[in-house]
Chains A and B, each alone.
Chain A
Amino acid sequence: MERLTLDATVSKPLSFDLRQTSLRQVNQFLHRELTAGQTVQIAHPDGAHSLAVGLTVPAEVNVEGHVGYYAAGMNQQARVTIRGNAGPGVAENMMSGRVHVTGFASVSAGASAHGGRLIIDGDAGLRCGISLKGADIVVGGSVGSFSAFMAQAGRLVICGDAGDALGDSLYEAVIYIRGEAKSLGADAQFEEMRDRDYEALHELLSEADLTHDPRSFRRIASAKQLYHWNANAQQDY
Chain B
Amino acid sequence: MPSLNPQPSTHLEASAGYDHRIISYIQNAAAHGLYEIRGLGAKRRLPHFDDLVFLGASLTRYPLEGYREKCTTKTLLGTRFASKPIELETPITIAGMSFGSLSATVKEAIGRAATEVGTSTTTGDGGMTPEERAASKTLVYQCLPSRYGFNPDDVRKADAIEIVIGQGAKPGGGGMLLGQKINPRVAEMRTLPAGVDQRSACRHPDWTGPDDLTIKIQELRELTDWEKPIYVKVGASRPYNDVKLAVQAGADVIVVDGMQGGTAATQSVFIEHVGIPTLAAIRQAVDALMEMNVKDEVQLVVSGGVRTGADVAKALALGADAVSIGQGVLFALGCNSSTYIQQGEAHSAEADYAQLGTAPGYCHHCHTGLCPVGVTTQDPILEQRLESDVGTRRLKNYLQTLNMELTTLARACGKQNVHHLEPEDLVALTIEAAAMARLPLAGTDWIPGT
Contacts and interface: CB of A to CB of B under 8 A. Distances in A.
14 contacts: A49-B218, A49-B219, A53-B222, A54-B156, A54-B223, A70-B216, A73-B219, A89-B207, A93-B152, A111-B147, A130-B206, A171-B196, A229-B197, A231-B32
A229 B223 CA distance: 37
A131 B225 contact: no
A229 B155 CA distance: 32
A69 B196 contact: no
Contact of A108 (B146, B151, B205): B205
A152 interface: yes
Contacts of B134: none
A69 B226 CA distance: 18
Contacts of B216: 69-70
Interface of A: 23-24, 27-28, 31-32, 49-50, 53-54, 56, 68-70, 73-74, 76, 88-89, 92-93, 95, 108, 111-112, 114, 127, 130-131, 133-134, 149-150, 152-153, 171-172, 227-229, 231
Contacts of B226: 24
B172 interface: no
Nearest to A1: B226
A227 B192 CA distance: 10
Given A50-B219, A112-B205, 5 more contacts: A28-B225, A54-B224, A73-B219, A93-B147, A229-B178
Contacts of B33: 231
A150 B207 CA distance: 15
Given A95-B151, A228-B179, A50 B222 contact: yes
Interface of B: 32-34, 146-147, 150-153, 155-156, 178-179, 190-193, 196-197, 201, 205-207, 212, 215-216, 218-219, 222-226
B196 A150 contact: no
Given A95-B152, A131-B146, A111 B206 contact: yes
Contacts of B179: 227-228
Contacts of A171: 192-193, 196
Given A68-B215, A89-B206, A131-B147, A153 B201 contact: no
B222 A134 contact: no
A131 B196 CA distance: 16
A127 B205 contact: yes
A114 B205 contact: no
B143 to A, nearest CB: 9
A23 B193 CA distance: 40
A69 B216 CA distance: 8
Contacts of B32: 231
B405 to A, nearest CB: 42
Contacts of A89: 206-207, 219
Nearest to A231: B34
A3 to B, nearest CB: 10
B214 to A, nearest CB: 9
Contacts of A93: 147, 150, 152, 206
Given A24-B226, A53-B219, A112 B192 contact: no
Nearest to A230: B197
Main secondary structure of the interface of B (DSSP, over half): loop
Contacts of B152: 54, 56, 74, 76, 93, 95
Contacts of A53: 219, 222-223
Nearest to B150: A93
A131 B201 contact: yes
Contacts of A28: 225
Contacts of A95: 151-152
A24 B222 contact: yes
A231 B29 CA distance: 12
A125 to B, nearest CB: 12
A61 B168 CA distance: 42
Instruction: Return the 5 tightest CB-CB contacts between A and B, nearest first.
Output: A54-B223, A89-B206, A74-B152, A112-B147, A111-B205
B206 A92 contact: yes
A114 B156 CA distance: 17
A114 to B, nearest CB: 7
Contacts of A172: 192-193
Of the listed residues B179, B206, B225, the one surrounded by the most CB atoms of chain A closer than 10 A to its CB is B206
A111 B32 CA distance: 38
Contacts of A31: 225
A154 B185 CA distance: 19
Nearest to B34: A231
A69 B147 contact: no
B219 A134 contact: no
Contact of B206 (A27, A112, A152): A112
B178 A153 contact: no
A49 B190 CA distance: 28
A152 B150 CA distance: 14
A69 B219 contact: yes
Contacts of B155: 74
Nearest to B223: A54
B170 to A, nearest CB: 16
Contacts of B192: 152, 171-172
Contacts of A231: 32-34
Contacts of B205: 92, 108, 111-112, 127, 130-131, 149-150
Contacts of B191: 114, 133-134, 152-153
Contacts of B178: 229
B212 A69 contact: yes
Contact of A50 (B34, B212, B218): B218
A27 B207 contact: no
Contacts of A32: 225
Contacts of A131: 146-147, 201, 205
B197 A227 contact: yes
